[in-house]
Chain A
Amino acid sequence: MLIDMKRSSALTNVLAPNVTNLLKTARRELAFLSHHLRAEQAAHILDIFEQELRYLANDIEYPIRLFESIDGALIIEWATPGCRAVVNLEEDNEESGWHIVTRSNDSGCQTIGALADLDIKRIINCIATNLDKQ
C-alpha cells in the first residue's frame, strides 16, 4: 500500500474547514509516528475518512485522534459523548480490527470486525447519529 503523504496533506488544505479540523489532530500525530510499522496503513485509512467525510451533512466538533498504544498498536479513535469508534492497527496485523460502541441500544452501531471488513461509512454514520449521551 503506497500512500503519498505530502499529497494527502495538500488535499486536506482544500477541504471544507470542518473536515480539515476533524482530521487535523490525527494527521499531526501521524507525522510524528511516520516511522511506525502501521503508519502507511493509518495514512490510507485517514484518506478514506477524508473522502467519506465530504458527504457528512452536519458539523461534528469531536476530532478523530491517532496515537500509539501502550502495547505498540497504532490507534485511530473517534470519541463523542454517545459513541466510541476505534480502528486498531496491531503489530501482528492478524489482530488488527475495528469496533463501534454506543451508549444507546442502537444495535446497528454495536460492531466488532476484522480490518478487512472495515466500514468507514458505517463509523461516520454511527458517530453522527450518536453524538450525545442518550
Chain B
Amino acid sequence: MADFPKRFFRGVGREKYVDEFNLISHEVFVPNKKTAEYREDSGYETSINWEDNEEVLEFTFKDRQISPHGVVGANTEEIQNANSKPNLKTLIENLGRLVFHERAALDTNPFHGNIVFSCDLPKAAQRAICSHLALHSTYYPRPQPDR
C-alpha cells in the first residue's frame, strides 16, 4: 500500500464555497461524476494534492485554475474516519468501502491524488462525507496582494 502524508490540499473553485466566517461548504469536496467513465471501479473522483513536502501548499496556490478562491487542507485520516461515521453504518455494511484515497501523479503535478467515492453511494451520503471533510478542514485564503 502506498505511503500517504498526513495532510492533503484542495483548491477552492468558487467564491461562494467559503462564507464570511471562513467556514467551508461541503461543495468543495463534491466529486466529479464523469470520472466513472474511465475508472474500472466507476468511482467518482475529487482531486487533491498530497502534502509531500512544505512547498505543496504554495504549489496548489500557484495553479489559479484549481484554487482561484484559496485552498483547504485536511488530515488524511479524516477520509478513513468518514468511513466509520455512525450515520453511515448501514451503508458500510451493504457497500463496504464508501470512500478511499489514492495517488494519481500527473506529468505536471507529482503531488496529485484523488479522494474516490463509491458510485453506489446515495447523494445524501456522498454529501455527508463531503461535509465531514469540510468540517475538519482548514481554509487558507489567497494572500491579499494576490487576490
Q: Which residues of A contact B (CB under 8 A)?
A: 61-63, 65, 67, 69-71, 73, 75, 77, 79-84, 86, 88, 90, 95-99, 101-103, 107, 110-114
Contacts and interface: CB of A to CB of B under 8 A. Distances in A.
Interface stretch (B4-12, B58-66, B68-76, B129-137): B129-137
Interface residues of B, number: 27
B123 A95 contact: yes
Contact of A101 (B16, B21, B33, B128): B128
Contact of A65 (B19, B125, B136): B19
Contact of B26 (A71, A86, A112): A86
Nearest to B128: A99
A75 B16 CA distance: 12
Given A99-B131, A110-B87, A63 B19 contact: yes
A112 B136 contact: no
Given A112-B125, A114-B124, A67 B16 contact: yes
A97 B122 contact: yes
8 contacts: A61-B21, A62-B19, A65-B16, A79-B19, A88-B124, A99-B131, A102-B135, A103-B135
